[in-house]
């Protein structure tokens, strides 16, 4: 097991090698947390980690490599974490993708659906025992205001017909909130909390998977967007602030709770998405 300084919180951040994830990892390390950074590639992960230690020489970090596009990779990541640590104080599910054309994983899942939703669901489920072993553990899910455009069609959950990239992205961001609200309800009485957030319109590499035209437009508008460091404010707040101790099942913007779409508050939809996620992955998520 990894030896940590007295009182250091263990916080795992996915998508920690760039954008909001890197900025979140940097802020958390600066605050004295032991940050477990998850990166798709070792090269990008080490680059981000070195930047953190250059800016904060006393930072405490670890790097785990996982391409969060398969159930096996998520299971292996969880096993590696559990072999190094006896508990997890905070899980920040941040990694996300956006694509213009429909792409599938090696297991046949639509890419955005898997990375943006099922990876959150599976990683949280695989690490729930580690979270239970921490006092007052927190799950923080990065969503988006795009959720308000999202729709859930259980007859075409992965948009096999008439695929539209941004619409599927919005759908998955709605799924993040549905998952968070259902998880929070199932965590009641455990001492653990689950919240989600909109980080703001941030200049990140999220749009690199879209068409060249849309990517160029995103780049040209980028000067009007916030920087990743600003996007990290709310996830860091939810991961660390004493103001949200015991607060669960909420959606935050600018470090404040906000309401969400009517669809996101549909309890039947929340429950059914959970059950469908279990069915599709063959993973039974037991709290």
What is residue 200's predicted lDDT score, i.e. its pLDDT?
Answer: 81
- Percent of the chain scoring above 70 in pLDDT: 89
pLDDT: is 150 or 5 the higher one?
A: 150
Residues 142-161 have a mean pLDDT of 97
Q: How far apart are the C-alpha atoms of 258 and 193, rounded to whole Å? A: 17
Q: Which of 96, 76, 100 is nearest to 141 (CA)?
A: 96
pLDDT: is 208 or 193 the higher one?
A: 193
Residues 141-170 have a mean pLDDT of 97
4 confidence band (pLDDT: 50, 70, 90): low
Lowest average pLDDT, out of 39-53, 70-84, 133-147, 226-240, goes to: 226-240
- Taken in order 38, 113, 142, 196, the sign of the CA dihedral is negative
Residue 228: pLDDT over 90: no
Neighbours of 265 (CB within 10 A): 14
What is residue 280's predicted lDDT score, i.e. its pLDDT?
Answer: 98
Average pLDDT, the chain: 92
pLDDT digits (tens, 9 = 90+) for 29-43: 999 999 999 999 999
Active-site residue, from 85, 120, 169, 251: 169
Residues 105-130 have a mean pLDDT of 98
What CATH number matches the domain at 10-281, 3.50.50.60, 3.30.450.90, 2.60.40.1080, 3.40.50.720?
3.40.50.720
- Kindly report the pTM of this predicted structure: 0.92
In SS3 terms, the chain reads as CCCCCCCCCEEEEECCCCHHHHHHHHHHHHCCCEEEEEECCHHHHHHHHHHHHHHCCCCEEEEEECCCCCHHHHHHHHHHHHHHCCCCCEEEECCCCCCCCCCECCCCCEHHHHHHHHHHHHHHHHHHHHHHCCCCCEEEEECCHHHHHCCCCCCCCCCCCCCCHHHHHHHHHHHHHHHHHHHHHHCCCCCCEEEEEECCCECCCHHHHCCHHHHHHHHHHHHHCECHHHHCHHHHHHHHCHHHCCCCCCEEECCEEECCCCHHHCHHHHHHHHHHHHHHHCCCCCC
Alpha-carbon 84 to chain mean position: 21
Residue 72: pLDDT over 90: yes
Q: How far apart are the C-alpha atoms of 166 and 145, rounded to whole Å? A: 13
Q: Where are the domains of the chain?
A: 10-281
Residues 75-96 have a mean pLDDT of 98
What is residue 222's predicted lDDT score, i.e. its pLDDT?
Answer: 44
- Percent of the chain scoring above 90 in pLDDT: 86
What is residue 212's predicted lDDT score, i.e. its pLDDT?
Answer: 58
181 catalytic residue (yes or no): no
Cβ proximity of 265 and 181 under 8 Å: yes
Residues 9-29 have a mean pLDDT of 97
What is residue 225's predicted lDDT score, i.e. its pLDDT?
Answer: 46
Residues 188-201 have a mean pLDDT of 94
pLDDT digits (tens, 9 = 90+) for 200-225: 865 555 545 545 544 444 444 445 44
């Amino acid at each position: 097991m990894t030896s940590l300084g007295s009182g250091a919180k263990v916080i795992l951040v996915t998508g920690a090698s760039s954008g909001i994830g890197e900025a979140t990892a940097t802020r958390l390390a600066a605050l004295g947390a032991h940050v477990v950074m998850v990166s798709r590639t070792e090269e990008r992960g080490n680059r981000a980690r070195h930047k953190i230690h250059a800016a904060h020489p006393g930072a405490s970090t670890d790097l785990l490599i996982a391409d969060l596009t398969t159930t096996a990779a998520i299971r292996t990541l969880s096993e590696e974490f559990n072999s190094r640590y006896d508990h997890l104080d905070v899980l920040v599910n941040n990694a996300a993708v956006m694509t213009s054309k429909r792409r599938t994983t090696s297991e046949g899942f639509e890419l955005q659906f898997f990375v943006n939703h099922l990876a959150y669901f599976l990683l949280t489920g695989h690490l729930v025992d580690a979270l239970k072993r921490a006092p007052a553990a927190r799950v923080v899910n990065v969503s988006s205001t795009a959720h308000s455009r999202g729709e859930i069609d259980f007859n075409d959950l992965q948009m096999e017909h008439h695929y539209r990239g941004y619409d599927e992205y919005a759908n998955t961001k709605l799924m993040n909130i549905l998952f968070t609200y259902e998880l929070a309800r199932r965590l009641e009485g455990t001492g653990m909390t689950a919240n989600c957030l909109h980080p703001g319109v941030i200049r990140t590499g999220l749009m690199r998977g879209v068409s060249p035209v849309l990517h160029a437009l995103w780049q040209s508008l980028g000067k009007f967007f916030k920087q990743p460091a600003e996007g990290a404010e709310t996830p860091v707040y939810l991961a660390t602030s004493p103001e949200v101790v015991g607060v669960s099942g909420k959606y935050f913007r600018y470090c404040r709770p906000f309401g969400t779409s009517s669809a996101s508050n549909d309890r039947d939809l929340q429950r059914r998405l959970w059950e469908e996620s279990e069915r599709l992955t063959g993973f039974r998520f037991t709290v």
